[in-house]
Amino acid sequence: MLILIQIICLFFIYFVCRYITKVYPFAKFYISLPYLASLCLICMFILLTLLNLDPLPFPKFLERVTVSSFLFTVGIQIFTFLNTTFLKRVIMLLIISGFIIITMDVIQFIVETPYDFVLGSIFFANNVDFIKKVSDKMDLTVLTYWGSVQLLIVFYFTPLFLKLSEKFLINLRKNISIHPHRSEPLITGVTKKGVSHFLILWVIICIIIWISSSINSQVYFVYDFVFAMLFGIFYASFIRIQGETITKTTTNLINQIGTFHLYIFILITIWQQFIIQTEHFRIFFSLQIFNVIVIKTIVIGILSLYVIKITFSKSNEIDKLVGVIALWTFSLNAPVVCMHGMKTASNRFDASSYIVFIVPPVILWLVNYMHLWLFLALQK
């Protein structure tokens, strides 16, 4: 019964915060809908605790459906960018990721225990299966706890980092389109077409989850959302082969549906971090390790700003802002905070950056193979 109440409250909070972000210009300060909603979830979490009710994690299936639905829509949009330049940028991101991983692991060898693991690459694009594979020397629960701490730090400092990045990277005197009142409604009214899109999407995603469940146990890092993203690319290519085109209206609807599922997934993930913190705070928290994580977060933030300022000197403003938040977030932790940061940055501009579509296939999937290989090679 409690889990049903939590789900109802989750969607209620989402739609209330959706209305608030349409009325007040929170986007001006890079405060996104899920960021605002997460503050409401904190209140809900505290209320349940005061009522002597143990907050429960949301159903795993709901998490799988939301993230897979989002990446299915990303896959459809990736197809429009799929060319030689796109593939070159994917390879370049893999090379950059490899350099970051090697640098972090070298630092880990230099630093003494117990601070070595938080400075290493184990939390890079935080992947649970990767951590399980390489965590033979440390308790998986300890790594999960500190990974959760890093995720929450990155998530809640995203608005501040984006505001500082705007001051450092963007020339506001230029004629650029910034939208402090930008909002993303789910659909324009509850129409039959909108409802049918959702139902069809959920049926497709359930089939994908069923298929991938039998394959995931046999192949590393092949998840539901990887299948969903690839299927989205194939679906878009099938439409092109049929001689049809995806109109701007359809693209907007796809983007809105994807955003809705992304935001729900973010809130589910943040809620899970609250549970992890309450269960393990007294056992594992260390002020010294926490301080090291904060310093690491700041240092990587500064380095990210200078790297993007140098390498993106000829790029437009949105690419700079999305690029710096992507580099900062996936270097530190889970792709969920990376997608949240990129989406928050994009919401102030007229169009999304190509980086938004390069990061998911690399950071959510391909980089895990390289990360595992590099980590095992450096351990020898």
Could you give the percent of the chain with pLDDT greater than 70? 89
> Please, what's the b/e burial string for 242-280 (b: 16 or more CB within 10 A of its CB; e: otherwise)?
eeeebeeeeeebbbbbbbbbbbbbbbbbbbbbbbbbeeb
Average pLDDT of the segment spanning 98-111: 88
Tell me what pLDDT residue 139 has: 77
- pTM for the predicted model, two decimal places: 0.92
- The confidence score (pLDDT) of residue 194 equals 60
What is the number of structural domains in the chain?
A: 1
Q: Region 356-367: what's the mean pLDDT?
A: 89
252: confidence class by pLDDT, cuts 50, 70, 90:
confident
Lowest mean pLDDT: which of 91-100, 241-250, 276-285?
Answer: 241-250
Instruction: Please check the confidence at residue 356 and state whether its pLDDT lies above 80.
Output: yes
Looking at per-residue confidence, does 203 or 218 come out higher?
203
* Across 112-138, average pLDDT: 80
- Flag whether pLDDT at 181 surpasses 50: no
Q: What is the per-residue pLDDT for 188?
A: 43
**Host domain of residue 210:** 2-379
pLDDT band at 178 (very low <50, low <70, confident <90, very high): low
